[in-house]
Structure 1
Amino acid sequence: MTVKIAVLVSGRGSNLQAIIDSIERGYIKDAAVNLVISNKADAYALERARKHGINAVFLDPGRYDRSGYDRDILKLLNNYDVDLLLLAGYFRILGSEIIDAYRDRILNIHPSLLPAFKGLHAQRQAFEYGVKVAGCTVHYVDEGLDSGPIILQSCVQVLPDDTEETLTGRILEQEHIIYPEAVRLFAEGKLKVEGRKVRSLD
């Protein structure tokens, strides 16, 4: 059975590309990205999707109230019979209706070692705080801000001559490794949520 994936995006979509590439080269088996939805008309992620023959949809948030917007997303997810919902640089908070419908089936990638530096500009937060180790986290999405159970994390050493930009670049390289890995584990049925902890059966 093929796991049908939808991805919510707002920007360039480099994590989307990493997942598409991992599926196409066979690293992630029995899974397909069938739908990409963006709240930004000019998000390059939509173009990435089209290049791979994936349905790409722009939903204009200016035409909805918040609950109406989420309802139309949910309608699309149902129409495409989506099994797994991924957030990849999606700069909106999901409402409870979507979270309830896809409980333990929504993943997000965040550019910090959660629970540190939640929210926007996590790399800048870490850099300005002066941490010696930064990184990224794949986690399940719940009703809180970057607060769901953690699936995978990867550490990145902060170098003495780092800038926010160089640190961000090295964190992104790790995102492109651990996000496809988490999707692979999910697609193979190897993730088990036990309260706040996620066990990998790999």
Structure 2
Amino acid sequence: MSNVAVLVEAADEVGRAGIAHMLRAGGVRILETAERRLAAVVVRVVPVLNDATLSELRRERAGFPAAERPRYLVVTEQVDPASALSWPESGVFGVLHQVTATSHRLATAVHIVATGGACLPAGLQGALLAELDNVRRTALEPRGLSLSGLNVRERDVLSLVAEGLDTEEISAKLGYSQRTVKNVLSGLKRRHNFRTRSHALAFAVRTGAI
């Protein structure tokens, strides 16, 4: 992991130095502030990970070209689970509770985040899934939508496409006109740039919509 370059940022120098020391012990190369743009990962030490922290990170990332925007590993004492859905757009791909941070855990998390992965404690994974489920129930389902971006009618049509039914059979099964079935499939192709029914079907299966 020695080839992973990391910048450590914290409000107080003692906290920054402590995390930097543990990372060095784990074989991670620590950068100086002037070398920020070379960092594969920025380790940010904060008391609490909440919407205010995420807003600050988004403002920072906006100052970088898209290809150079940093990926953050946040080391924190407290996490607001309600902020979890905003982590990816804020560049947060790793979270560690400060009390559990060891040289090995920090170095492992840095490596995961640097190579395009995400590192979250099991408890936070549960909180994130719970928040996603809350969005699904309160915001998407009342509008006939799902996390996949497909509405109920689209899911119904694609489910029957998956069973091998043609347009006429789908129309009879669902009680829609053949024109409606064709419009549903055409709308899907147009919105998601699908080339064929098979392409749309593969997307639905991959996202768990059917």
TM range (shorter): 0.3 to 0.5
TM-score w.r.t. structure 2 length? 0.37
Between the two structures, name the one with larger relative contact order (CA 8 Å, sep ≥ 6). 1
Higher helix share: 2
TM-score w.r.t. structure 1 length? 0.38
